[in-house]
Amino acid sequence: MNIKILSIGLFKNSEYKSIFFDYISKLPWRVDLKELKPCIHKNIQIRKEKDSESLLDKVNKNEIIISLDKSGSAISTENFTQLIIEQIQDNKNISFLIGGPDGISIDCLKRSNIIISFGKMTWPHLLARIMLAEQLYRVSSIIAKHPYHRN
């Protein structure tokens, strides 16, 4: 299984960058981060649509699209683990989509196979990357029966 994390915005010299890549380096799967420059249009809706189009342009056919959006379902780590196990068993690749400050367009959400929320609060997209990386590491630990995850 290969995983792509497609995200609007750039780490640049953010302190979050090293934390993200620390988690990613521990994963048993190939994970590619594709950072996309945000649209700079003045209209919020146009920005959201352009950013979402940029995300979808990087998704390959036959990949499962999982969007991270506050409109999604809040799932447990155990359910997230089961979701990842199913993709491994089906030999499916995953593209995680993380929108910019304006979120993800409705059309993009409709194209998504799954929409996940990290809760009702709004999170900065750079922090959402770290939260996703940590959960992927936690899932890999659960699968390997490593004691990192304690239920």
CATH number at residue 134: 3.40.1280.10
- Spell out the per-residue pLDDT of the chain, length 151, in tens: 999 999 999 999 899 999 999 999 999 999 999 999 999 999 999 999 999 999 999 999 899 999 999 899 999 999 999 999 999 999 999 999 999 988 999 999 999 999 999 998 888 888 999 999 999 999 999 999 988 877 7
* Structural domain includes residue 23: yes
What distance in Å separates the CA atoms of residue 54 and residue 58, rounded to the nearest whole number? 7
Query: Does a structural domain hold residue 113?
Result: yes
**Residue whose token pair is 């950072």:** 35
Q: Is residue 151 part of a domain?
A: no
Q: Is 78 within the bounds of a domain?
A: yes
Residue 114 within a domain:
yes
**CB-based contacts of 148, cutoff 8 Å, min separation 6:** 137, 138, 141
Cβ contacts of residue 142 below 8 Å, gap of 6+?
77, 78, 81, 149
Q: Is the pTM of this model over 0.85?
A: yes
The domain containing residue 107 runs over which residues?
2-143
Answer yes or no: is 115 within a domain: yes
pLDDT, position 150: 73
Inside any domain, residue 81 = yes
Q: How many domains does the chain fold into? A: 1
**E runs forming strands in the chain:** 2-8, 30-36, 64-74, 94-98, 114-117
Residue 149 forms part of a structural domain: no
